[in-house]
Amino acid sequence: MSADSAPDLECRGLTKRFGDITAVKDVDFSVPAGSFFSILGPSGCGKTTIMRMIAGFLEPSSGDILIRGRSVLGVPPNKRPVNMVFQHLALFPMMNVAENIGYGLRRQGVAKAEITRRTGEVLERISLPGIGARKVSELSGGQRQRVAIARCMVLEPEVLLLDEPLGALDLKLREKMKIELKSLQAEFDTTFVYITHDQGEALVMSDAVAVMNAGRFEQIGAARDLYYRPATAFVAGFVGEANRWSGRVTRVEGDTAEVQTDAGLTLRAPADGLKTNDKVSVFVRPEAISIGPDAAAMQDQAFGTKVQVTAMLFNGANSRVLVRDPQSGSEIDVALPQSAGFANLDKGAEVQIGWTREQTLCFADTAS
Amino acid sequence: MTGRGLGFYLLLAPLVLWLGLLIILPHIDMAIVSLRTRVAPREYVPSLDNYAAFITEPLYIVTFLRTAIMSVLATVITLIIAFPISYYIAKIAKGRSQAALFLMCLIPFWVSELVRTFGWIILLRETGVISGFLQWLGLADQPIEMLYNDAAMMLGLVYTSMLFMVVPLTTTLESLDDAVIEAGYDLGGSGFSVLREIVIPHAMPGIVSGCIVVFMLSLGNYLTPTMLGGKGSLWFTELIYSQFIVRFNWELGAAFGFCLLGASSLIVWSILRLTGQTLERTMGEGK
């Protein structure tokens, strides 16, 4: 590790325009050395464009990219100290595993014996020793994944870029690879920049996540902050699950805003600069909602109502109850507490639900 | 399995008839003809005289070797010209321009080879377009004859074969994932090393199948060497033609035919061996 404090990767005012379309708009971020940074966004939000600019396949329209404090603008991809794990891995089918891993070293003119040694070493580190002579087509999905990472890591890049590398794997393997990627990152102690549209991948693995939408970063923060303290309505809706209502602020009193949803629910939320008559979007996480047998159990909640169960979605630890508020008719998604008593809820049962003021996430609509 | 139905044999019949009547039967007959010699009118004895004549007569053997070498050269030149064209069509051109470029390679092949070759005569002859243009520019003070030499013949051979190289090359290059090329650069490769280690190995089945087709077309070409080549550019097919049609010496002609078949088989086999490809892989367009 270098002694200076320059982050491994820094983007300043990064912008990319394709004709009239602005794919990436004024993006700023920096990734400290040795951390796992994710860019999370729906497809088409511009995250791949950012990745390709960092790798050097695209030139930014404006802004700067710095690696270890040095601008890499104008440096071709084969001269940048970053390597990329492609979406479909892009292993070289005409070479075996050892040749794939040794490719970059051969380009650097490393001696043959040294290439063999380092290839063996990196295969050891990804716990696939002795598969060097195998053909790429003989490997399983998870093995290919690790070989693709090893092929980059053997070059000891400053930054490793990963472009949705888990997308092609089946669900079980994806879960396993998430954990494995995180431990590989710790093992190699290299900065990973990971792009994905899967919030599960981003939240589990990353030290910091940037949520991206329509070419801009909506929020950068630790997974926990994004989840509990989303900065924008988009982040609240995109990260994690939430019940969503749109409505209007009817009254602001101190630090509490009263919101009337379009369906007719009256909620209370932290005021945070909201003004009367603002149009707002309100989010409440399913697990933030308490559920109880009667109104007495909901005394401490800012909002409570009696509802009817419309469906029970049993899924082990992730079971949900869908309930309907009889006054407004809106359907609310409630996480089922694992503790006592609710496993026997049936369709039609009457229960009391409620949540606190702080758990009501309220954002003024910007575009209206 | 209780034997195959009538339908199977009916479907098989055209193939068997085609192979038997048009390929195997004529070749057996040719082989017999080539292995006999005429001692008196309508009187033949088996002998190897025809093959002996081929080996001992310098004109025959020189023409034979020249034809083989020139065909290899034509194949190599076609490959060198067609590779960048195919790469451009498959990897750089996008959408409509890709289709348009491919069509432009195809269009000349809608007219007959004779007309296409005649087009070159119009361009290259003494009173032709290029000669006239050079004189008009003042670069030449008298008409220039560019026809009837090896260069003109080579031009014709390469031009005639181009499509048969471009099509298999474009197909194999299209099947190469762009990300694999990008990965080559990303891991530190230069344009040349990516070409050598990634693009060419991937395109090898296409290169080999294109080369085989172009080589065989050149070797068996009759029209182009006759129309564009000079007196010195005698092509082996012209020798066969003259034995059959002019000299009416079918025995020698048949022997020549077998020598040509042997040569093309040998050279195709060596190309496959040298490149480590198999006929199945190359003809299956390298999947």
Tens-digit pLDDT profile for residues B86-122 = 999 999 888 888 889 988 888 888 888 888 888 888 8
Residue A251, beta-bridge partner list: A258
**pLDDT beyond 70 at A5:** no
Q: Given an 8 Å threshold on Cβ–Cβ distance, is A103 in contact with B187?
A: yes
* Contact criterion met (CB below 8 Å) for B173 and B203: yes
Are A335 and A315 in contact by the 8 Å Cβ rule? The answer is no
Read off φ and ψ for residue A228, nearest 5 degrees. Answer: -90, -30
Phi then psi dihedrals of residue B128, to 5 deg: -85, -175
For testing contact with chain B, the best of A94, A108, A160, A161 (most B CBs within 10 A): A94
Chain B CB contacts of A84 under 8 Å are 182-183, 186
- How far is the C-alpha of A340 from the C-alpha of A228, rounded, in Å? 26
Q: State the residue range of the domain holding B149.
A: 29-283
Q: Are A84 and A112 in contact (CB under 8 A)?
A: no
Question: Quick one: closest CA in A to B180, which residue?
Answer: A90
Contacts of B197 in chain A (CB under 8 A): 92, 95, 103
Q: What is the pLDDT of residue A4?
A: 53
The Cα B7–Cα B5 span in angstroms is 5
Whether A53 shows a pLDDT value over 90: the answer reads: yes
Count Cβ atoms within 10 A of the Cβ of residue A62 and give its class: 0-12 exposed, 13-18 middle, 19 or more buried: exposed
What is the CATH number that goes with domain A243-364?
2.40.50.140
Å from B270 to nearest chain A CA?
22
Predicted confidence band of residue B3 (pLDDT cuts 50, 70, 90): low
Report the gap between the CA of B189 and the closest CA in chain A (Å). 6
Partner residue opposite A88 with nearest CB, options B177, B188, B198: B177
Are B178 and B252 in contact by the 8 Å Cβ rule? The answer is no
Q: Which residues of B touch A144 (CB under 8 A)?
A: none
Query: Domain for residue B223, yes or no?
Result: yes
A356 pLDDT tier (thresholds 50, 70, 90): confident
Interface test mutation site (partner A, options B172, B173, B187, B287, max chain A beta carbons within 10 A): B187
Chain A residue numbers touching B183 (CB-CB < 8 A): 84, 86, 90-92
pLDDT value of residue B248: 84
Ranges of H-type helices in chain A: 47-55, 97-107, 112-125, 141-153, 171-188, 199-205, 223-228, 233-238
CATH for B153:
1.10.3720.10
Which residues of chain B does A107 touch, with a Cβ-Cβ cutoff of 8 Å? 187-190, 193
Token pair for A222: 């630790």
Distance between CA A5 and CA A132 in Å, rounded?
38
Determine, yes or no, domain membership for B252.
yes
Give the residue with greater pLDDT, B42 vs A27.
Answer: A27
Domain count, chain B: 1
Average pLDDT, chain A: 86
Find, in chain B, the residue whose alpha carbon is nearest to that of A85.
B183
Q: Say what the pLDDT of residue B206 is.
A: 92
Averaged pLDDT, A334-343: 73
Domain contains B185: yes
Bridge partners of A282, per DSSP, are: A245, A362
> Quick one: pLDDT at residue B283?
65
**Contact state of B187 with A108 under an 8 Å Cβ cutoff:** no
Token pair 């401490």 in the structure block, residue: A300
Calpha distance A101→A95 (Å, rounded) = 9
- Interface of chain A against chain B, CB under 8 Å? 55-57, 76-79, 83-84, 86-88, 90-95, 103-104, 107-108, 151-152, 155
Query: Is A343 or A365 the better-scoring residue by pLDDT?
Result: A365
Residue A111 phi, psi dihedral angles, 5° rounding: -65, 150
Question: Which chain A residue shows the shortest CA-CA distance from B193?
Answer: A107
Domain borders along chain A are 9-236, 243-364
Please list every residue in chain B whose beta carbon sits closer than 8 Å to the beta carbon of residue A90: 177, 179-180, 182-183
Backbone phi, psi, residue A186, to 5°: -65, -40
Mean pLDDT of chain B, nearest integer: 87
Could you give the CA distance from residue A162 to residue B31 in angstroms, rounded to a whole number? 65
- Crossing angle of helices A112-125 and A97-107, rounded to 10°: 130
- How close A101 gets to chain B, by Cα (Å)? 10
Bridge partners of residue A308, in order along the sequence:
A324, A350
Q: How confident is the model at residue A298 (pLDDT cuts 50, 70, 90)?
A: low
Kindly tell me if the per-residue pLDDT of A199 is higher than 70.
Answer: yes
What are the pLDDT digits (tens) for B226-269?
Answer: 888 877 778 888 888 888 888 888 888 899 998 999 988 998 89
CB contact under 8 A, A92 and B185: no
The Cβ-side half-sphere exposure at B166, using a 13 Å CA radius, reads 22
Two tokens, residue A302: 């800012």
**Distance between alpha carbon B77 and the CA centroid of its chain, in Å?**
12
Q: For the structural domain made of A9-236, what CATH number should be given? A: 3.40.50.300
Lowest mean pLDDT among A56-70, A91-105, A208-222, A305-319: A305-319
Report the range of poorest mean pLDDT among A22-31, A193-202, A300-309, B259-268. A300-309
Shortest Cα–Cα distance, A362 to chain B (Å): 43
Predicted local distance difference test score (pLDDT) of residue A299: 65
State pLDDT tens for residues A74-107.
899 988 999 999 988 899 988 999 999 999 999 9
Q: What is the ipTM of this complex?
A: 0.79
Partners of A270 in the β-ladder: A256
Confidence of residue A6 (pLDDT cuts 50, 70, 90): confident
Q: Residue B129 falls within a domain, yes or no?
A: yes
| pLDDT on residue A212 | 92
CB A104, CB B187: distance < 8 Å: yes
What is the pLDDT confidence band of residue B287, given thresholds at 50, 70 and 90? very low
Q: How far is A297 from chain B (nearest CA, A)?
A: 58
CB < 8 Å to A108, chain B: 188
Q: Is B123 helix (H, G, I), strand (E, B) or coil?
A: helix
Residue A183 CB partners (closer than 8 Å, separation 6+):
none
Cβ–Cβ under 8 Å, residues A77 and B185:
yes
Inside any domain, residue B61: yes
Same fold for the pair A9-236 and A243-364: no
Specify if B22 maps to a domain. no
Rg, chain A, Cα only? 25
pLDDT of A295 reads 67
Q: Which residues of B sit within 8 Å Cβ distance of A?
A: 177, 179-180, 182-190, 193, 197-198, 201-202
pLDDT digits (tens, 9 = 90+) for A255-283: 888 888 888 888 888 877 788 888 888 89
What's the CA dihedral at A228, A230, A234, A240 to 10 degrees? -20
What are B149-184's pLDDT values in tens digits?
888 899 999 998 999 999 999 999 999 999 999 999
On the question of pLDDT at A368 being above 80, the answer is no
Nearest CA in chain A to B177: A90
- Rounded mean pLDDT of A3-31? 86
Q: Please tell me the distance from the alpha carbon of residue B181 to that of residue A90, in angstroms, as a whole number.
A: 8
Inspect the interface and report whether the beta carbons of A94 and B198 lie closer than 8 Å: yes
**Closest residue, chain A, to B200 (C-alpha):** A94
How close, in Å, is residue A31 to chain B by CA atoms? Answer: 21
The Cβ of residue A25 has, within 10 Å, a number of other Cβ atoms equal to: 17
Which of B172, B173, B185, B186 to substitute to test the interface with A, most A CBs within 10 Å? B186
- Tally A–B CB contacts below 8 A: 60
